């Protein structure tokens, strides 16, 4: 699946879900696992050197025990880092490394699942980022990949390719059910004025959308593929589709908007993730 995985965890990841998800991914084909546990400076202030060493030893022991049957366990690394800017530390750390995947826990609350750190990593790293929740994958879990077969520019066509490559990796590694969703674009003005019924629009254009998806995945030899065509805002329709399918992983692309452009326009993947309550694998290309 991924040869080299960076795992980000902290004191709030009490179930070690990011490490567990990394283990599930790495077990079939992985190589190097690099686990970083972050402690904020105000938390570290109450810990002396001996306690920090205990934290490091506890993390190392946990990883060793979890990966005890792992073929490449000798190459696993762990470290405890004191930092208040996790995103920047990780970005700097990855500059001279060759990670295939970053795994980080998302922290769910009543109103928030993802943190500003998640957004910064997704926007800044040129590495796929898996934001994981506490729930373990079922043996035959469902995966939903969001595609745009009507992409006009090369950047978004390349995103489709990257998403499909990761979807194929997942299908080949796990005994999972693959679902593809294409969200047909609909003008917000037409929706707000009730000029268009998005459900009827999706039904009317479903056959054409499925044909476009079939052309897009031609040559990928994806097993157990199911196609879904929706219409409206991806931020609503993709999470709804994931919920209906009980998908445990959603794979999406991100164009990595940053700065003022990112503030004003946002990012479709981030808007979708606001409403997801499942694992998200974000594949990014720099805009």
Q: Report domain extents, the chain.
A: 4-132, 142-284
Alpha-carbon distance of 69 to 73, in angstroms, equals 8
Residue 14: its pLDDT value, please?
73
pLDDT in tens, 78-135: 999 999 999 999 999 999 898 999 999 876 544 444 567 888 888 888 899 999 888 8
- Which of these, 185, 135, 159, lies nearest to 251 by C-alpha position? 159
DSSP, res 218: T
State yes or no: pLDDT of 76 exceeds 50.
yes
Q: Name the pLDDT band for 260 (thresholds 50, 70, 90).
A: very low
Residue 263: its pLDDT value, please?
39
Write 38-41 long-range contacts (CB < 8 A, 24+): 38/8, 38/9, 38/10, 38/80, 38/81, 38/82, 38/83, 38/86, 38/89, 39/10, 39/11, 39/80, 39/81, 39/82, 39/83, 40/82, 40/83, 40/84, 41/82, 41/83, 41/84
Name the residue with tokens 């699946």: 1
Alpha-carbon distance of 8 to 280, in angstroms, equals 15
Alpha-carbon distance of 119 to 268, in angstroms, equals 12
Q: What is the pTM of this model?
A: 0.88
Return the percentage of the chain with pLDDT > 70, whole number: 86
Q: How many angstroms from the chain centroid is the CA of residue 86?
A: 18
Report the range of poorest mean pLDDT among 67-71, 121-125, 280-284: 67-71
Task: Select the CATH number that applies to the domain covering 4-132 from these four: 3.40.50.620, 3.50.50.60, 3.40.50.300, 3.40.50.1000.
Answer: 3.40.50.620
Residue 138: its pLDDT value, please?
80
Residue 166: its pLDDT value, please?
93
CATH code of 142-284, in short, is 3.40.50.12370
Residue 265: its pLDDT value, please?
37
Backbone angles phi, psi at 67, to 5 degrees: -100, 25
- Structure-token pair, residue 244: 């209906």
Alpha-carbon distance of 158 to 21, in angstroms, equals 27
pLDDT in tens, 224-259: 799 999 998 888 899 999 999 999 999 999 876 554
- Which of these, 181, 179, 188, 156, lies nearest to 283 by C-alpha position? 156
State yes or no: pLDDT of 189 exceeds 80.
no
Alpha-carbon distance of 203 to 147, in angstroms, equals 18
State yes or no: pLDDT of 261 exceeds 50.
no
């Amino acid at each position: 699946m991924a040869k080299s995985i960076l795992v980000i965890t902290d004191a709030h990841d009490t179930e070690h879900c990011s490490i567990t998800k990394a283990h599930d991914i790495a077990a079939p084909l992985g190589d190097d696992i690099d686990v970083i546990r972050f402690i904020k400076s105000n938390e570290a202030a109450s810990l002396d050197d001996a306690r920090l060493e205990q934290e490091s030893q506890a993390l190392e022991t946990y990883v060793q025990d979890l990966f005890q049957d792992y073929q490449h366990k000798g190459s696993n690394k762990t470290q405890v880092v004191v930092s208040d800017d996790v995103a920047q530390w990780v970005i700097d750390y990855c500059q001279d490394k060759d990670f295939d995947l970053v795994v980080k826990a998302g922290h769910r609350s009543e109103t928030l699942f993802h943190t500003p750190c998640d957004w910064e990593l997704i926007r800044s790293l040129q590495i796929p980022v898996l934001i994981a929740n506490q729930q373990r994958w079922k043996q035959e879990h469902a995966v939903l990949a969001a595609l745009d077969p009507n992409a006009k520019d090369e950047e978004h066509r390349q995103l489709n390719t990257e998403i499909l490559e990761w979807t194929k990796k997942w299908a080949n590694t796990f005994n999972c059910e693959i679902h593809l969703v294409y969200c047909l674009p609909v003008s917000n003005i037409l929706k707000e004025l009730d000029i268009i019924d998005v459900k009827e629009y999706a039904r009317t254009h479903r056959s054409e959308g499925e044909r476009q998806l079939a052309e897009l995945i031609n040559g990928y030899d994806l097993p157990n593929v199911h196609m879904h065509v929706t219409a409206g805002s991806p931020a609503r329709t993709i999470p709804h589709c994931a919920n209906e399918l009980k998908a445990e992983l959603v794979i999406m692309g991100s164009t990595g908007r940053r700065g003022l452009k990112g503030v004003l326009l946002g990012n479709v993947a981030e808007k979708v993730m606001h409403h997801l309550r499942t694992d998200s694998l974000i594949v990014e290309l720099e805009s």
